[in-house]
Structure 1
Amino acid sequence: MSRIRMFVALALIYMVFAVLLNSVGVVILQSISSFGVDKPAASLLELFKDLPIAVTSFLVASMLPVLGYRRAMMLSLALVAGGCVLMPLFPGFHTTELMFCCVGVSFALAKVAVYSSIGLLTKDRAEHTRLTNTIEGLFMAGVLLGGWLFSGFIDDASPANPVWLNVYWVLAAICLLVVALLATSHLDESAAHADPSKVVRGTPMEMFRLAGKPLVYVFLISAFFYVLIEQSFSTWLPTFNNEVLKLPHAMSIQMASILAGATAVGRLVAGQVLRRVHWHLLLNLSVVGMGLLVLLVMPLARGVVIDSHVGWLSAPIAAYLIPLIGVLMAPIYPVINSVALSSLPKHAHASMTGLIIIFSALGGTLGSRVTALVFAHFNGITAFYFSLVPMSLVLVALHFFKRETERVGSTGPVAVGLGAK
């Protein structure tokens, strides 16, 4: 029963952070109306979220086995709950900055702890992959839920009305409920503790040592290029819908939300497909399918002409087809994460997850920036065609990643620590 409670807790943690991390766009919009800040100032909320994620991951990832994964998750949720409570009590833009800083720090702690706990709760690589896919799928479900949750507290008649801040009471309550769930659960973390003579704990040193292993740096390259692709589509699809497909602003955002739903479905389905299909074959088919979809849909997006009363039934077919790339993207990230983690000793999972978070942040930032530059200097169709380049690089990286996992599989988990070579 305690094991089931831990599974539920991990899922709820990821869904809570999905809502908060992906609420930046909504909060920017509402901050402009409620707090009177301008767009450049409001855009800094992204920095207050992302910078703490990267810094915290780098500084404390290797310390979490000492603190304990379950305690780290409880600490992260308590910190987020505190940040949420401050929002309605002390409404203001600086409070919003502080809240997102809390979210960034907490998410770094929570993701390291959640990913590391998956290795402790599963028995083999196949089970590890299925659970990772399920939790990542629920993250995307949380993204969808968050939009509807926030919209339910916004006063359309008076957008500046700070009544929308009451959503944070709900989020704080959910955080505290999950803390209670974790407090009554048990997680055997003995396997996460390495031989003290071989690992420098409490420093980033293990992360540096880990990054030098062939399996790890090939994985990080794969993850970097995948996130570059994902961020390109998720960030710029609303703009593509508006400027290329000529959809109204609101409808462009709603259509783009199909991408999150498609990704959630894809990750949940992939967890079952992986029972019968080898992960490398599935990922290769997924990447090739993504490329074919881009080649199929982009010509359909050229020269779109719509009337002023366009609706869901009269929207261009391309608006429905492009988000389906989420189904194909879905299994790649959680599967390569799972394969990499399950190839390492469990005491190295915290440091490895820290590396995953850092390289994912770098890939996401670069992907959004590159797409923005191509979009601005050429057009949206060219920008999405450009995604074929990192897709090709992902295929190459997956080939070497599979080779390294097979090599490691024949010799046992990668040795990690100052005494390892």
Structure 2
Amino acid sequence: MTSSNLGALRWLTYMMFFMFAMTSDAVGVIIPELIRDYQLTMTQASAFHYAPMIWIAASGLLLGFLADKIGHKPTIILGFVLFAGACFGFAIGETFITFVCLLSVIGLAIGLFKTAALALLGDLTPTSQAHTRTMNMVEGFFAVGAIVGPAAVSYMLASGVSWVYLYILAGGLCSVLCLITFAVKFPERPAKQVSQGSGFRQTLLMLKDKHALGFSAAIALYVATEVAIYVWMPTLLKTYEGSWGLLATYALTIFFILRAVGRFMAVWLLNLFSWQSVMLALSSAIFLCYLLTFVFGVDAAVIALPLSGLFMSMIYPTLNSKGISCFDKHQHGSVAGVILFFTALSAALAPLLMGMVSDYFGHIRYGFALAMGFAALLMLAMAYNYWKNPAQLRLANAH
């Protein structure tokens, strides 16, 4: 395969994640509008986030094997077609229920093309270290999309334009990516690898593997701490009345910018230190940000929570890469589906639980106390990973 074709595949993968982030990470800006327009509680409004995440989880677990069975290219195209169709459906949707149903289809589509894209990365990277660096680059583009999406919605709302046009724009971008996918040549996979990695049974076997479950659990804890920021931080900071009002207004944008900067710095940082020590240091810093918010309230949150984006930047792509790299390449689609299942399940349930806790106690700060607990568990998990290094032999032996 030519270097230009490999470059096209890398950019295709980058843009998939950029497009995904545009829609998923904008929900924190959209939810206050939904609460106002449809007279919803925080628990009800959180369906705008957890509905697609549940379908991403189901798609990853039940359909993740398709990337290994029918190939990366057909799976990606199928996901793109579903994603674009659902996005264009926002042009005619009017009710909250309709939007939630369309988001469910989007979640199903993301589960398809994301697992295929993650499996594709294994074919494009020869070593675990190269896979981790590439994964951080991919997540860097995701982080850029997470900046563009909320910023675009904020601009639309300020200009009197409905937020639904974000999804129409995403549908247009997805249509272009689908056409490019048709035109680009994908790496050929030996028939032996296809037969070894095919079937839902392969995914079920992953659920019994301690490394797949261990990395999935760690990623789920990380995701619970991250989604708390982009789903509920705008709601928390609406109660801020201090002198840092401008910072509170742009807190979510600052969070996404710092997360993007950190992900593009990941290659440099991981070349200097072991990934285990980096994960422990960053998870400890995240816990400190939540602890400051818990102790000092919204006056500390206006600084600490956006700053946490810098520390969160490298955790997900690194853990995701190491979890996938524990397995042979013909298993990458299945293990990516399992990890995606736990990722999306956490992304669905954590904000929902935060909304329920906040509704019960009467303030969103109680939801952030729950998120602090997730951050503490993540820090303990990374301490165990640092001292015991349980995946060392598996990472050394996988090919």
Equivalent positions of 1:318-329 (< 5 A) are 319-329=302-312
Find the counterpart in structure 2 of residue 202 from structure 1: 199
Distance 1:26 1:385 in 2: 22
- For the 8 Å contact 2:229–2:305, the answer to whether it is kept is no
- Per-residue deviation, 1:224: 2.2
- Which AA in structure 2 matches 1:184? A
Find the counterpart in structure 1 of residue 212 from structure 2: 216
- For the 8 Å contact 2:207–2:213, the answer to whether it is kept is yes
Structure 1 window deviating more from structure 2 (228-237 vs 112-121): it is 228-237
Describe the superposition over 1:269-318 as per-residue Cα deviations: whole angstroms up to 9, x where unpaired.
1122212322112112212333344455655x35x7xxxxxxxxxxx565
Find the counterpart in structure 2 of residue 254 from structure 1: 250
What are structure 2's unaligned runs of at least 5 residues?
none
Equivalent positions of 1:12-411 (< 5 A) are 12-28=15-31, 37-39=38-40, 43-88=46-91, 90-93=92-95, 95-154=98-157, 156=159, 164-190=163-189, 194=193, 196=195, 201-203=198-200, 205-243=201-239, 252=248, 254-295=250-291, 299=295, 301-302=296-297, 319-369=302-352, 371-372=354-355, 377=361, 379-380=365-366, 382-383=369-370, 385-399=372-386, 402-403=389-390, 405-409=391-395
Q: Is the alpha carbon distance of 1:371 and 1:39 closer, same or farther for their aligned partners in structure 2, counting shifts above 3 Å?
A: closer
Distance 1:154 1:129 in 2: 38
Compute the TM-score of the two structures, normalised by the length of structure 1.
Answer: 0.81
Distance 1:372 1:386 in 2: 15
- For the 8 Å contact 1:192–1:346, the answer to whether it is kept is no
- For the 8 Å contact 1:225–1:393, the answer to whether it is kept is no
- For the 8 Å contact 1:374–1:382, the answer to whether it is kept is no
- Per-residue deviation, 1:373: 6.2
- Which AA in structure 1 matches 2:94? G
- For the 8 Å contact 1:211–1:217, the answer to whether it is kept is yes
Distance 1:212 1:396 in 2: 24
What are structure 1's unaligned runs of at least 5 residues?
305-315, 415-421
Distance 2:264 2:372 in 1: 28
Find the counterpart in structure 2 of residue 313 from structure 1: none
Structure 1 window deviating more from structure 2 (7-16 vs 247-256): it is 247-256
Q: Is the alpha carbon distance of 1:372 and 1:12 closer, same or farther for their aligned partners in structure 2, counting shifts above 3 Å?
A: same
Q: Is the alpha carbon distance of 1:401 and 1:340 closer, same or farther for their aligned partners in structure 2, counting shifts above 3 Å?
A: farther
Larger fraction in helix: 2
- Which AA in structure 2 matches 1:174? L
- Per-residue deviation, 1:370: 5.2
- Per-residue deviation, 1:214: 2.6
Distance 1:120 1:53 in 2: 23
1:413 aligns with 2:390: no
Greater Rg over alpha carbons, structure: 1
Distance 1:173 1:369 in 2: 30
Q: Is the alpha carbon distance of 1:242 and 1:92 closer, same or farther for their aligned partners in structure 2, counting shifts above 3 Å?
A: closer
Q: Is the alpha carbon distance of 1:195 and 1:400 closer, same or farther for their aligned partners in structure 2, counting shifts above 3 Å?
A: farther
Distance 2:230 2:28 in 1: 12
- For the 8 Å contact 2:51–2:103, the answer to whether it is kept is yes
- For the 8 Å contact 1:222–1:397, the answer to whether it is kept is no
Quote the RMSD (CA, aligned, Å).
3.2
- For the 8 Å contact 1:86–1:95, the answer to whether it is kept is no
Q: Is the alpha carbon distance of 1:251 and 1:286 closer, same or farther for their aligned partners in structure 2, counting shifts above 3 Å?
A: closer
- Which AA in structure 2 matches 1:391? L
Compute the TM-score of the two structures, normalised by the length of structure 2.
Answer: 0.85
- For the 8 Å contact 1:126–1:275, the answer to whether it is kept is no
* Count of aligned pairs between the two proteins: 389
Distance 2:84 2:271 in 1: 38
Describe the superposition over 1:366-420 as per-residue Cα deviations: whole angstroms up to 9, x where unpaired.
43355456656495575565355313332244247722x222245x229xxxxxx
Q: Is the alpha carbon distance of 1:26 and 1:389 closer, same or farther for their aligned partners in structure 2, counting shifts above 3 Å?
A: closer
- Which AA in structure 2 matches 1:39? L
Distance 1:374 1:91 in 2: 30
- Per-residue deviation, 1:177: 1.6
Structure 1 window deviating more from structure 2 (206-215 vs 371-380): it is 371-380
- Per-residue deviation, 1:128: 0.6
Distance 1:128 1:97 in 2: 35
Describe the superposition over 1:215-262 as per-residue Cα deviations: whole angstroms up to 9, x where unpaired.
222222222222222233443323432346668999745313322222
- Which AA in structure 2 matches 1:21? S
Distance 1:109 1:224 in 2: 19
- Which AA in structure 2 matches 1:5? A
Identity %: 22
- For the 8 Å contact 2:60–2:111, the answer to whether it is kept is yes
